[in-house]
Amino acid sequence: MLELNDPVTIIGDIHGQFYDLLKILSYTDLLKSHMDPNQKVVFLGDYVDRGINSIEVTLLLLGLKIEYPHNVILLRGNHESRVMTEQYNCKTECL
């Protein structure tokens, strides 16, 4: 369970739609040069599948997590299997 205070943005089910993700992110501070230290952005999982840019979506989200480790929260959806996350030594805190 996560306890978060405002401001929080929740984004779900990207499904490999990279350009849609960029549009959504344009409404947050994540792509800007200054990030509000209290802003949290929670991604609900399902980053891959269906869309043709699953790799780009995954790389962008992991890059954002590295850049803003305390602001970006990546949850694992049903499209991200436990086998995949454990293979890369990234437990559920990461994805």
What positions carry a catalytic annotation? 79
Distances in whole angstroms, Cα of residue 29 to Cα of each of 26, 32, 35, 71, 84: 7, 5, 5, 10, 29
| Contact assessment for residue 11 and residue 42, using Cβ atoms and an 8 Å cutoff | yes
| Contact assessment for residue 80 and residue 49, using Cβ atoms and an 8 Å cutoff | no
Q: Positive or negative, the Cα torsion across 8, 15, 67, 73? A: positive
